[in-house]
Amino acid sequence: MPIEPISSVFLTSALSLFAYLFGSISAAIITCKVMGLPDPRTQGSNNPGATNVMRIGGKKAAAITLLGDMLKGLLPVLIAMAITREELTLALVAAAAFLGHLYPIFFGFKGGKGVATSFGVILGVSWPVAIAMMLTWLGVAYGLKISSMSALVAAALAPFYFWWLTGSNVYVIMAVLISSLLIWRHRSNIKRLLDGTEK
């Protein structure tokens, strides 16, 4: 059996495992602990994410959480990209980091909703797509003043942006997976949007 395919599979597996473990580090929980704030899993929406951290700790704590969640998606992809430019490897690393945030092994597989981390992994894979998503988020947020709706619209358009700006079927499939999971994690927000009770 050729050595190169085995080596490639090992490299992809190792990078994906690292990405999942790195993504499993909860910026929200660590930030709240360091700043002497309540565990975000027990306050507000019980979601360990930047929005809930802002509710219980203010803008500074939320900004730190937001940056941490974004970096734990971005850095594994950048590390992988420094080693290989194989699209499948980069897509799997990106998906693994995102899954780590949603289902962190260090916190009972109960993580956040994935908006900041998904932006981080997409920024690493394709900055033009990340900019398109950010502009979409800002446009919807400015028009509707509803954060969750902005995230949902940006997520829904991500596969299209990857198809349009990269032409990579591998990245489109990755985007479909990430977007589907992100929308699924926002199902309670979707219910409130339909009921007209979303803040």
Measured over the CA atoms of residue 47, residue 51, residue 53 and residue 57, the dihedral's sign is negative
Q: Residue 3 above 50 pLDDT?
A: no
pLDDT of residue 4: 52
Domain ranges of the chain: 3-195
Q: Confidence band (pLDDT; 50, 70, 90) for 105? A: very high
pLDDT of residue 64: 95
pLDDT of residue 28: 93
pLDDT of residue 114: 92
pLDDT of residue 171: 97
pLDDT tens per residue across span 40-84? 988 888 889 888 899 898 999 999 999 999 999 999 999 999 999
Tell me what the pLDDT averaged over the chain comes to.
91
Average confidence (pLDDT) over 117-137? 96
Q: Confidence band (pLDDT; 50, 70, 90) for 198? A: confident
Which residue type sits at 91? A
Q: Higher confidence at residue 146 or residue 177?
A: 177
Q: Higher confidence at residue 180 or residue 7?
A: 180
| Cβ-count burial 110-130 (b if 16+ within 10 Å, e if not) | ebbbbbbbbbbbbbbbbeebb
**Do the beta carbons of residue 69 and residue 120 sit within 8 Å?**
yes
